[in-house]
Structure 1
Amino acid sequence: MVTSDGTARHPGNAPYNRMIVTASARDISSAGVAQPALGRRIVMPWGTDL
């Protein structure tokens, strides 16, 4: 488990089998998209209308 500021991502141990984001976002960086292992998913709330 990694807990950190998600805007900086955490490439040190990538690729990850699972990424669960608990903060809402309006976009995701290319670095964030590149971190899950091939065929895996990122689960996160989308948008700011919460």
Structure 2
Amino acid sequence: MLDKEYINNWFGRFAAAAVLISIPIAILFIVMQRFYQESMSGSVKG
């Protein structure tokens, strides 16, 4: 895979896989951030 003649194909596949893996993680982070903010705002005692 790391031979000089295949490095461009490998890099393209690696970049595409990284984007496909990061999309669900980013969506999960955005959704869970809302619940985290709600729970932290209710936990402050005054």
Q: Normalising TM by the smaller chain, what interval? A: under 0.3
Structure of higher CA gyration radius:
2
TM-score, normalized by length of structure 1?
0.18
Larger strand percent: 1
TM-score, normalized by length of structure 2?
0.19
Highest RCO, 1 vs 2 (Cα 8 Å, sep ≥ 6): 1
Larger helix percent: 2
